[in-house]
C-alpha cells in the first residue's frame, strides 16, 4: 500500500539491499582470514562463478538526492510493511542463489575428499573436551544424498554402552519433522535401529518406540541440553547458518532458547559441522531476525569458535 511520507523516511526507504559483485577491496580482516585458510573471495569466485560479498545497505542516487534537499518535501513512498516485505524477498532470493551454488559445489566434490573430511571432522568432535563433557545432546542424522557432513561415527559413539564403572551414558535426541509448517521435534533414541526413513529419505525416530512407549521429547525433558550438533548448507565466519529453507531448525532453536530462559538453564552450545567449501567470509550469508547464529563451526581445518559462549566453553582454534 502506498502512503505519503516525509523526505527523511523516504531517503531511508530508498536505501537498497544489494548483493554486490563489485571488485574486492583487500583489508585487514580478509588478509587475516586468508592466513587462517578460510574461503577467500578468489576461492569463492572459482567455486561459485562469482564472489559473495556481505550485503550492504547502499544509497541509491534517489536517496543521495533526497538527503541533500534542505526543504521538506512530501512524495509518495512505500509503507514500512512494503519495505520490509521487499527486504525479506531480497534476502530469500539471495539465500536461494547461495543454496543452489553450494548444492552444485557439494555435488561436484570428490567423494574421497568428502569421506576424508567426514573422518577428520568427526575425530575433532570426538576428541574435544566440550563434546566429551556433554551429557545431553541433540544431533542430526546425516543424509549422504544431501551431501551432509557424516555424523554416523558420532552417533555410534554416543549410543555405545558406557562401561558400568565409567561416566554416565550420553543422552541423544534427534529430529523428527512433524509437518510442512517448519515444525520439528527432537526425540530421545537409544539405538540406531530406532530410526526409519521419512518421505525426504532422512532417518528419523517414530514418536513411540518398539515397545509402544512414547519417546521423550527434548522440550519436555527435566534437564537442559548441553550441545546441539547442527547441519546446514552454508555457514559464514560470523556464525550465520544457511539451512535447506524449511525453517525447521530456526523455529526449533528459537523455541528451545525460550524454554531454557524460562527454566533458567544455561544455553546449549550450538556447533555446526561443515566441509571446507561450505564456509564463507564474515556476514556473507544474508539473514532475517529469525535466523539463529551458531557458536562455532567444526571444519576439517579445525574448530572455529565464533561467540563468547564458545570461548567460555573452551573451544579454540
Ligand atoms: N539430516 C538432516 N535432518 C534434518 C534436517 C536437515 O537439514 N538435515 N532438517 C533441517 O531443516 C529437517 C528436515 N528438513 C529438510 C528440508 C529439506 C530437505 C531437502 O531434501 N531439501 C532439498 C531440496 C528440496 C527442494 O528444494 O524442494 C535439498 O536441500 O537438496 C531435507 C530436509 C529435520 N531433519
Ligand atoms: N522462528 C521462526 N518462526 C516462524 N517461521 C520461521 C522461523 N524461522 C524461520 N521461519 C520461516 O521458515 C522459512 C525458511 O527460513 P530460512 O530460509 O531462514 O530457513 P533455513 O535456515 O534455510 O532452514 P532451517 O532452519 O530448517 O535449517 C521462512 O519462510 C521463514 O520465515
Three cell numbers written together for 65: 538526492
Please check the confidence at residue 35 and state whether its pLDDT lies above 70. no
Three cell numbers written together for 195: 530410526
Average pLDDT, the chain: 81
Location of C-alpha cell 581445518: 301
Domains, the chain, ordered by start:
10-34+41-69 (no CATH), 84-312 (3.40.50.10420)
What pairing do the DSSP bridges indicate for beta strands 234-236 and 241-242?
Answer: antiparallel
Residues of the chain with pLDDT > 70: what percent?
A: 74
pLDDT (0 to 100) of residue 102: 98
Euclidean distance between CA atoms 286 and 53, whole angstroms: 10
Could you tell which of 198, 246, 247 is best to mutate to test the pocket of ligand 1, judged by most ligand atoms within 8 Å of the CB? 246
Three cell numbers written together for 3: 502512503
Under the banding of pLDDT at 50, 70 and 90, the label for residue 207 is confident
Lowest-pLDDT range of 65-79, 117-131, 302-316: 65-79
Average pLDDT for 241-257: 97
Predicted confidence (pLDDT) per residue in 67-92, tens digit: 333 333 334 567 888 888 999 999 99
Predicted confidence (pLDDT) per residue in 150-167, tens digit: 999 999 999 988 766 555
Q: Which atom of ligand 1 lies nearest, measured to the CA of 151? A: 1
pLDDT (0 to 100) of residue 153: 97
Whether 300 lines ligand 1, by a CB cut-off of 6 Å, is no
Under the banding of pLDDT at 50, 70 and 90, the label for residue 33 is very low
Euclidean distance between CA atoms 124 and 118, whole angstroms: 10
Please check the confidence at residue 56 and state whether its pLDDT lies above 80. no
Sign of CA dihedral 56, 257, 242, 247: negative
Residues of the chain with pLDDT > 90: what percent?
A: 66
Render the burial of 141-153: b for 16+ CB within 10 Å, e for the rest.
Answer: bbbeeebbbbbee
Average pLDDT for 261-288: 98
pTM of the model: 0.81
pLDDT (0 to 100) of residue 49: 41
Euclidean distance between CA atoms 151 and 274, whole angstroms: 11
Average pLDDT for 6-20: 28
Within 6 A (CB) of ligand 2 lie: 95, 182, 242-251, 254, 290-291
Could you tell which of 182, 200, 232 is best to mutate to test the pocket of ligand 2, judged by most ligand atoms within 8 Å of the CB? 182
Among candidates 294, 307, 306, 303, which has minimal Cα distance to 240?
A: 294
Whether 52 lines ligand 1, by a CB cut-off of 6 Å, is no
pLDDT (0 to 100) of residue 298: 98
Euclidean distance between CA atoms 218 and 226, whole angstroms: 12
Lowest-pLDDT range of 69-78, 112-121, 193-202, 261-270: 69-78
Among candidates 156, 140, 303, which has minimal Cα distance to 233?
A: 140
pLDDT (0 to 100) of residue 114: 98
Lowest-pLDDT range of 33-37, 92-96, 181-185, 193-197: 33-37
Please check the confidence at residue 63 and state whether its pLDDT lies above 50. no
Query: Helix axis angle, 111-127 relative to 152-159, nearest 10°?
Result: 30
- The residue contributing the CA closest to ligand 2 atom 21 is 243
Which helix (H) or strand (E) segment holds residue 100: the answer is helix 80-107
Whether 203 lines ligand 1, by a CB cut-off of 6 Å, is no
In sequence order, what E strands does the chain have? 2-6, 15-18, 56-59, 74-78, 136-139, 171-177, 184-189, 195-197, 203-205, 227-230, 234-236, 241-242, 269-273, 279-280, 296-299, 302-305
pLDDT (0 to 100) of residue 189: 96
Average pLDDT for 106-110: 98
Average pLDDT for 263-273: 98
pLDDT (0 to 100) of residue 165: 58
Measured CA to CA in angstroms, residue 262 lies from 151, 187, 228, 251 at distances of: 31, 21, 19, 17
Half-sphere exposure for 242 (CA within 13 Å, toward CB): 26
Amino acid at each position: 500500500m502506498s502512503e505519503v511520507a516525509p523526505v527523511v523516511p523516504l531517503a531511508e526507504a530508498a536505501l537498497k539491499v544489494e548483493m554486490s559483485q563489485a571488485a574486492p577491496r583487500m583489508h585487514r580482516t580478509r588478509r587475516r582470514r586468508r592466513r587462517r585458510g578460510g574461503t577467500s573471495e578468489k576461492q569463492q569466485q572459482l567455486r561459485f562463478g562469482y564472489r559473495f560479498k556481505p550485503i550492504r545497505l547502499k544509497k541509491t542516487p534517489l536517496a543521495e538526492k533526497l538527503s541533500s534537499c534542505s526543504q521538506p518535501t512530501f512524495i509518495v513512498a512505500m509503507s514500512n510493511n512494503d519495505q520490509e516485505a521487499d527486504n525479506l524477498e531480497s534476502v530469500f532470493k539471495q539465500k536461494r542463489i547461495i543454496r543452489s551454488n553450494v548444492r552444485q559445489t557439494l555435488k561436484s566434490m570428490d567423494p574421497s575428499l568428502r569421506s576424508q573430511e567426514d573422518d577428520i571432522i568427526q575425530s575433532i568432535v570426538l576428541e574435544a573436551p566440550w563434546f566429551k563433557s556433554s551429557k545431553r545432546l541433540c544431533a542430526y542424522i546425516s543424509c549422504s544424498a544431501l551431501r551432509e557432513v557424516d555424523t554416523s561415527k558420532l552417533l555410534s559413539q554416543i549410543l555405545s554402552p558406557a562401561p558400568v564403572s565409567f561416566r554416565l551414558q550420553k543422552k541423544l535426541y534427534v529430529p523428527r519433522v512433524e509437518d510442512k509448517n517448519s515444525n520439528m521435534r527432537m526425540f530421545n533414541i537409544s539405538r540406531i535401529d530406532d530410526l526409519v526413513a521419512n518421505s525426504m529419505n532422512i532417518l528419523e525416530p517414530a514418536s513411540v518406540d518398539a515397545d509402544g512407549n512414547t519417546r521423550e521429547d527434548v522440550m519436555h525433558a527435566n534437564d537442559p541440553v548441553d550441545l546441539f550438533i547442527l547441519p546446514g548448507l552454508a555457514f559464514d565466519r560470523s556464525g550465520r547458518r544457511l539451512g535447506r529453507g524449511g525453517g525447521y531448525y530456526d523455529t526449533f532453536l528459537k523455541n528451545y532458547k525460550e524454554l531454557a530462559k524460562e527454566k533458567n538453564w544455561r544455553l546449549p552450545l550450538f556447533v555446526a559441522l561443515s566441509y571446507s567449501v561450505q564456509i564463507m567470509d564474515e556476514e556473507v550469508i544474508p539473514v532475517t531476525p529469525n535466523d539463529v547464529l551458531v557458536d562455532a563451526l567444526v571444519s576439517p581445518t579445525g574448530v572455529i569458535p565464533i561467540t563468547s559462549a564458545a570461548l567460555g566453553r573452551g573451544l579454540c582454534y
